[in-house]
Amino acid sequence: MLIVKKFGGSSVANKERIFRVAERCIEEYKKGNDVVVVLSAMGDTTDELLAKAADINPNAPKRELDMLLTTGEQVSVSLMAMAMHALGVSAVSLNAYQVMMHSTSRYGNARFKRIDSERIRHELDSRKIVIVTGFQGVNKYDDYTTLGRGGSDTTAVALAAALRADACEIYTDVDGVYTADPRVVKNARKLKEITYDEMLELATSGAKVLHNRSVEMAKKYGVQLVVRSSLNLEEGTTVKEVAKMEKMLISGVAGDKNTARISVLGVSDQPGVAFKIFHTLAKNNINVDIILQSVGREGTKDISFTVSQEDLKPALAILEEYQEPMTIREIKWEDTVAKISIVGAGMMSNPGVAAKLFESLYNNGININMISTSEIRITVLIDEKEIDKAMQAVHDGFGLGDV
């Protein structure tokens, strides 16, 4: 069997944990399996590198940021190979350039295009454990790129797909995918299984246990994922096409504080205005999430929408630059908002799910600012200060917790 095992930053945060991971991988290897290990940077390394960069230059070129960030993963993979050698097993660490993991050119948010498998195959054939840097790619300029925060999960899935691995295991600091972030909702329950679609919605809505692109890619290539703890032997959660869910209306709740709301007021109420605004934002790579348009009055209307906090400043700069041609009278914004989402395939065939969500929030005095829905998700925008209370309230409202 060929097994891809990915370990997150906290799982390789110190010497003891590195050896624990090394031993776990060696155990698999000694059963006669081929083992490919994907690692994130140790502990908070990526945050520390970002802070260092901001200290030198808050507007650092994105290319240089990626050059810096990719060093974090290079440290963890080389140390892991050394640990395995210390335990008497032959291992080799490889970065994205050595494997050749081709990505799109966009620094800070690249996507994989193609992955060469020869080097890894060659190393596996000589019975080495292969340890690959997560989170990084190489673009057409031969520069390093990164895949966005949490992107090591995507490296693991991409390698599992390219190598046609028999298993792809994501080891982290919780026992699996829960009905809500177990650090926020204490009685959250671990799911045995979850579908790709539900997991994708949860990940996109802020459940950072898996990078959303990793789930997208797993679905596309049919890579079944297992999410489990690097600290114990508990069974974990399987992410796959069809899940035998217990009869549940919704499978999880997610919160996301990384959001900001922008309102453009008094724009003229005629065809083409919304197009102009959102086309210009999209052209500048700004992802717009929830959109709300007011009823027109006296020839004008207001449009509100949300963006991620990183995109707030650039979005405002664009709107200010084009304020006149976009017919915007006034621009307002706030960054103390948060999104709470419920996800579940069950809501497709059950009316009343939205009402129950609103009731749970209302019972806890939480005001709703904006609402958006997909087939299997409902998201509402609330005050950031209330997000933890809201998560618990909604989780309880739907009876998701352990009894």
In the complex, the residues that contact ligand ADP under the rule CB under 6 A are 8-11, 40, 150, 172-174, 177-178, 180-183, 207-209, 252
Check residue 150 for interaction with Mg ion (CB under 5 A): yes
Using the rule CB under 6 A, which residue among 37, 38, 46, 115 binds ligand ASP?
46
Position of minimal CB gap to ligand ASP: 152
C-alpha atoms less than 13 angstroms from C-alpha of 229 in its C-beta half-sphere: 10
Based on CB atoms, which residue is closest to ligand ADP, 286 or 338?
Answer: 338
CA dihedral for 103, 104, 107, 108, sign (positive or negative): negative
Window 331 to 350, contacts with Mg ion (CB under 5 A): none
Confirm whether residue 172 is marked as ligand binding: yes
Confirm whether residue 171 is marked as ligand binding: no
- Minimum distance, C-beta of residue 150 to Mg ion, in the bound complex (Å): 4
Q: How far apart are CA 202 and CA 208, in angstroms?
A: 8
- Minimum distance, C-beta of residue 326 to ligand ASP, in the bound complex (Å): 34
Amino acid, single-letter form, for residue 261: R
Confirm whether residue 7 is marked as ligand binding: yes
CB atoms within 10 A of CB 151: 27
Confirm whether residue 46 is marked as ligand binding: yes
Strand order in the sheet with 112-115: 112-115, 101-103, 136-138, 144-146
Q: How far apart are CA 169 and CA 244, in angstroms?
A: 20
Helix (H, G, I), strand (E, B) or coil at 167: strand
Confirm whether residue 73 is marked as ligand binding: yes
- Please enumerate in sequence order all residues whose Cβ is within 8 A of that of 289, keeping only pairs 6 or more positions apart, or say none: 259, 305, 306, 307, 308, 339, 372
Using the rule CB under 6 A, which residue among 11, 93, 109, 152 binds ligand ASP?
152
Confirm whether residue 173 is marked as ligand binding: yes
Position of minimal CB gap to ligand ADP: 8
Check residue 206 for interaction with Mg ion (CB under 5 A): no
Report CA 109 to chain centroid distance, whole Å.
12
Window 126 to 145, contacts with ligand ASP (CB under 6 A): 134-135
Chain positions contacting ligand ASP, by CB under 6 A: 8-9, 40-41, 46, 72, 134-135, 149-152
What residues are designated binding site?
6-9, 46, 73, 172-173, 178, 183, 208-209
